[in-house]
């Protein structure tokens, strides 16, 4: 990003700033004073706190300019370029739209109930072998994170890879209309956010909003194994590429060799190219297939895709193997959770060989609504005492899973802890796990199992 203040004012059709500020240069944007860089534009968002209260801190940190909501008529600073707008967030969106037109990159948009961050990162890693690439930072995938990502993309960005999350209908529609992607990717449809949508059908409808902004000559990449997506894709007029596990998909694995830290696979398209990802799990193979399909739109050779994926660095707390203080191997997957994701990671976890015992620590899966107790309890069929020796459960709704498992596990192997009793869980877990054991940590981010991970390490 690089603007003069006068260009920002003109792009937003905002009132002119004093001449002494008009030629000031802005080369980044921030809504958090803790991350302000000299030369930044500060966006004072209004939430639990009013961002205008932090403008003095932004000035101290080196901000060159700030938006200022016009109904805030007092304490307007005079020692910085103040750009008067109706709404700072909407102004950030308008400026992002202007900047996209200015640098004109190709855009890849990614959504899905599971795997969207990993897939986004894989796409960016592959495309970076041939292009100047910018991507959504971490999980900045909402209405604030999207324009933030766009505006902080370097001016030489050739491909912008954007992750789009949602928790209500219309959210992705709004974002895709801004981004206008050339490639739209849906990883899969699960139960995430079913509290807000009620059914998987409605979740699929919301995810499909991503194609509303897809360019007329763009490409829609989606999981061809999902009937809900197949039905809806029939109405999409743009080019389509599918990935999955079936021979009816455009791209699918014909062989998969899963290890603890790496997974290797060969696809139907290129028998002489072996792909390796530094992650466990056949579900991550699906994320890689989605990334390959997106990269092929940009004419990246399969061999280049394979080279890039071998060097891929997963985002923290997503299927990450670590060593605990007692020498135990810990599979940390504590960023998010839903029934599909838990089943997938359990399926792969129990296949990892060990001389010790397998221990699982599961936290509540949030945002499952009225179906939460039932969906938690349904995981009992995926937890086998012959493969998993110890079960630790933490949360409120996960009590239903504890009840269901009580028929299969003795009390010495089944441990339930209500919300607020994480300290006891940690103590018991530390006394249970030994050097030869495998431990899985999986739960929604709001359950803060990262605290358990920190204590184990």
> Which residues fall in the annotated binding site?
112-118
Per DSSP (E only), the strands in 224-356 are 239-243, 253-258, 263-267, 275-277, 320-323, 329-333
Closest CA to 43 of 242, 34, 52: 52
Measured in degrees and rounded to the nearest 5, phi and psi for residue 380 equal: -60, -35
For 267, other C-beta atoms within 10 Å of its C-beta total 22
Closest CA to 328 of 351, 350, 355: 355
Q: At what angle do helices 88-103 and 171-179 cross, to 10 degrees?
A: 40
Q: H helices within 316-413, ranges in order?
A: 339-349, 372-377, 399-405
Q: Counting beta carbons within 10 angstroms of the beta carbon of residue 265, is it exposed (0 to 12), middle (13 to 18) or buried (19 or more)?
A: buried
Under 8 Å between Cβ of 178 and 90: no
Token readout for 161 is 């890879």
Burial 149-173 (b: 16+ CB within 10 A, else e): bbbbbeeebbbbbbbbbbeeeebbb
Distance, CA of 403 to CA of 187 (rounded, Å): 33
User: Is 394 strand, coil or helix?
Assistant: strand
Under 8 Å between Cβ of 360 and 346: yes
74-82 long-range Cβ contacts below 8 angstroms, 24+ apart: 80/21, 80/55, 81/5, 81/17, 81/18, 81/21, 81/22, 81/24, 82/17
Measured in degrees and rounded to the nearest 5, phi and psi for residue 450 equal: -65, -25
DSSP structure class, residue 11: H
Distance, CA of 440 to CA of 365 (rounded, Å): 15
Specify the pairing of strand 390-394 against strand 414-417.
parallel
State the residue for tokens 């905002």.
Answer: 14
Annotation: binding site for ATP: 112-118
């Amino acid at each position: 990003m690089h603007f003069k203040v006068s260009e920002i004012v003109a792009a937003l059709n905002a009132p002119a700033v004093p001449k002494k500020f008009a030629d000031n240069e802005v080369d980044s944007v921030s809504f958090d004073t803790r991350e302000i860089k000299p030369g930044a534009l500060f966006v004072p968002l209004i939430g639990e706190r009013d961002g205008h209260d932090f403008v003095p801190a932004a000035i101290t940190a080196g901000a060159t300019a700030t938006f200022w909501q016009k109904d805030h008529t007092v304490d307007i600073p005079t020692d910085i370029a103040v750009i008067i707008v109706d709404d700072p967030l909407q102004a950030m969106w308008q400026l992002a739209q202007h900047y996209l037109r200015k640098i004109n990159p190709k855009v890849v948009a990614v959504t899905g109930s599971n795997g969207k961050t990993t897939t986004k990162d894989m796409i960016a890693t592959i495309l970076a072998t041939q292009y100047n690439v910018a991507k959504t930072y971490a999980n900045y995938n909402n209405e604030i994170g999207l324009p933030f990502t766009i505006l902080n993309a370097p001016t030489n960005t050739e491909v912008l890879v954007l992750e789009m999350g949602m928790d209500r209908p219309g959210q992705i529609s709004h974002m895709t209309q801004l981004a206008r992607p050339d490639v739209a990717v849906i990883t899969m449809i699960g139960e995430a956010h079913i509290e807000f949508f009620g059914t998987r059908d409605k979740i699929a409808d919301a995810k499909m909003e991503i194609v509303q902004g897809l360019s007329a000559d763009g490409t829609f990449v989606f999981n061809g194994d999902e009937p809900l997506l197949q039905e809806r894709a029939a109405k999409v007029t743009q080019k389509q590429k599918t990935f999955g596990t079936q021979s009816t998909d455009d791209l699918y694995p014909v062989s998969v060799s899963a290890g603890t830290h790496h997974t290797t696979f060969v696809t139907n398209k290129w028998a002489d190219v072996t792909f390796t990802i530094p992650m466990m799990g056949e579900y991550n193979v699906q994320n890689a297939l989605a990334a390959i399909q997106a990269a092929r739109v940009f004419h990246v050779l399969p061999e280049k895709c394979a080279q890039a994926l071998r060097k891929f660095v997963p985002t923290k707390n997503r299927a990450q193997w670590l060593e605990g203080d007692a020498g135990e191997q810990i599979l940390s997957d504590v960023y998010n959770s839903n029934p599909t994701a838990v089943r997938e990671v359990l399926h792969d976890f129990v296949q990892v060989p060990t001389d010790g015992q397998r221990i699982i620590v599961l936290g509540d899966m949030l945002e499952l609504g009225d179906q939460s107790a039932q969906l938690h309890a349904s995981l009992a069929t995926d937890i086998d005492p012959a493969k998993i020796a110890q079960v630790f459960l933490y949360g409120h709704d996960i009590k239903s899973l504890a009840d269901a498992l009580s028929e299969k596990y003795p009390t010495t192997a089944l441990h339930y802890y209500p919300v607020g009793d994480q300290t006891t869980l940690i103590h018991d877990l530390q006394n249970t796990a030994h050097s030869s054991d495998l431990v899985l940590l999986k739960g929604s981010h709001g359950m803060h199992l990262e605290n358990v991970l920190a204590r184990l390490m």
